[in-house]
Chain A
Amino acid sequence: MKLDAKVPSGPIAQSWDSHRFEMKLVNPANKRKFSVIVVGSGLAGASASASMAELGYEVDCFCFSDSPRRAHSIAAQGGINAAKTYPNDGDSVWRLFYDTVKGGDFRSREANVYRLAQVSNHIIDQCVAQGVPFAREYGGLLANRSFGGAQVSRTFYARGQTGQQLLLGAYSALCRQIGVGKVKMHPRAEMLDLVVVNGQARGIIVRNLVSGRLERYAANAVVLATGGYSNVFYLSTNAKACNVTAAYRAYKRGAGFANPCYTQIHPTCIPQSGDYQSKLTLMSESLRNDGRVWVPKNQADCGKAPGSIAENDRDYYLERKYPSFGNLAPRDISSRSAKEVCDEGRGIGPSGYGVYLDFSEAIGRLGQNVIQERYGNLFEMYERITGDDPYQTPMRIYPAPHYTMGGLWVDYNLMSTIEGLHVIGEANFSDHGANRLGASALMQGLADGYFVLPYTIGHYFASQKQTPVTIENAAFDNVEKETTERIRKLLSIGGNRTPDSFHRELGRIMWNQCGMARNEKGLRAALQQIPALREEFWKNLRVPGCGEDFNIALEHAGRVADFLEFAEVMCHDALERNESCGGHFREEYQTDDGEALRNDDEYCYSSVWEYQGVGNTPALHKESLTFDNVKLAVRSYK
Chain B
Amino acid sequence: MKLTLRIWRQHHRTAKGEMVDYHLDDVSEHMSFLEMLDVLNEKLLAEGKDAIAFDHDCREGICGACSLVINGKPHGGFPNTTTCQVHMRHFNDGDVVTVEPWRANAFPVLKDLVVDRTAFDRVMHSGGFVSVNTGGTPDANAIPIAKNEADIAMDAAACIGCGACVAACKNASAMLFVSAKIGQFRHLPQGKVEQLDRAKRLVAQMDAEGFGACTNTYDCEGACPKSISATFIAEMNRDFLKGNLCEP
Contact = CB atoms under 8 A, between A and B. Distances in A.
Contact of A553 (B51, B55, B139): B51
Interface in B91-137: 110-111, 114, 116-118, 120-121, 124-135, 137
A276 B39 contact: yes
30 contacts: A65-B63, A65-B65, A66-B114, A66-B118, A67-B117, A67-B161, A75-B62, A75-B63, A122-B135, A124-B140, A126-B137, A131-B185, A131-B188, A131-B190, A133-B157, A158-B157, A164-B62, A175-B124, A187-B121, A274-B31, A276-B35, A276-B38, A278-B38, A278-B59, A381-B85, A454-B134, A542-B46, A543-B45, A550-B53, A551-B50
Contact of A550 (B111, B128, B144): B111
B130 A131 contact: yes
B190 A496 contact: no
Q: Which of A274, A450, A552 gathers the greatest number of chain B CB atoms within 10 Å?
A: A552
Contacts of B248: none
Contacts of B23: none
Contact of B157 (A165, A210, A279, A450): A165
Contacts of A131: 129-130, 153, 184-185, 188, 190-191
B161 A125 contact: no
Contact of A74 (B63, B126, B184): B63
A229 B49 CA distance: 29
A527 B157 CA distance: 47
A176 interface: yes
A69 B64 contact: yes
B117 A66 contact: yes
Given A138-B147, A173-B129, A175-B125, A544 B65 contact: no
Q: Which are the 10 A-B pairs with shortest beta-carbon distances?
A: A140-B144, A172-B129, A129-B137, A179-B125, A133-B154, A51-B134, A133-B153, A128-B140, A239-B57, A550-B111
A130 interface: yes
B130 A172 contact: yes
Contacts of A163: 62
Contact of A178 (B28, B50, B61, B125): B125
A65 B146 CA distance: 36
Interface residues of B, number: 76
Contacts of A381: 60-61, 85
B87 A239 contact: no
A240 interface: yes
B58 interface: yes
Nearest to A237: B60
B219 to A, nearest CB: 22
Q: Which of B12, B65, B117, B126 gathers the greatest number of chain A CB atoms within 10 Å?
A: B65
B81 interface: yes
Interface string A43-63: 000010011001000000000
Q: Which of B58, B184, B185 gathers the greatest number of chain A CB atoms within 10 Å?
A: B58
A168 interface: yes
A129 B45 contact: no
Nearest to B85: A384
Interface string A224-263: 0000000000000001110000000000000000000000
Contacts of A124: 140
A550 B35 contact: no
A545 B41 CA distance: 14
A168 B58 CA distance: 16
Interface string A110-147: 00000000000010111111110111111111100000
A390 to B, nearest CB: 16
A307 interface: no
B34 A278 contact: yes
Interface of B: 12, 28, 30-32, 34-36, 38-39, 41-42, 45-46, 48-51, 53, 55-65, 80-81, 85, 87, 89, 110-111, 114, 116-118, 120-121, 124-135, 137-141, 144-147, 150, 153-154, 157-158, 160-161, 184-185, 188, 190-191
B150 A135 contact: yes
A66 B125 CA distance: 15
Contact of B129 (A176, A210, A553): A176
A543 B46 CA distance: 9
Given A141-B141, A173-B134, A175-B125, A542 B56 contact: no
Contacts of A172: 124, 128-130
Contacts of B57: 65, 70, 72, 239-241
Contact of A142 (B63, B117, B140): B140
Contacts of B135: 122, 126, 450-451
Interface in A157-203: 158-159, 161, 163-165, 168, 171-173, 175-176, 178-179, 185, 187
A66 B129 CA distance: 20
Nearest to B132: A129
Contact of A69 (B42, B81, B161): B161
A70 B64 contact: yes
Contact of A130 (B89, B126, B130): B130
A498 interface: yes
A612 interface: no
A380 interface: yes
Contacts of B129: 130-131, 172-173, 175-176
A402 interface: no
A281 interface: yes
B86 to A, nearest CB: 9
A277 interface: yes
A384 B87 contact: yes
Nearest to A187: B118
A75 B60 contact: yes
B165 to A, nearest CB: 16
Contact of B114 (A68, A74, A550): A550
B133 A542 contact: no
A141 B190 contact: no
Nearest to A137: B147
A551 B65 CA distance: 17
A599 B99 CA distance: 56
B128 A552 contact: no
Given A161-B62, A544-B50, A240 B56 contact: yes
Contacts of B130: 129-131, 172
B110 to A, nearest CB: 6
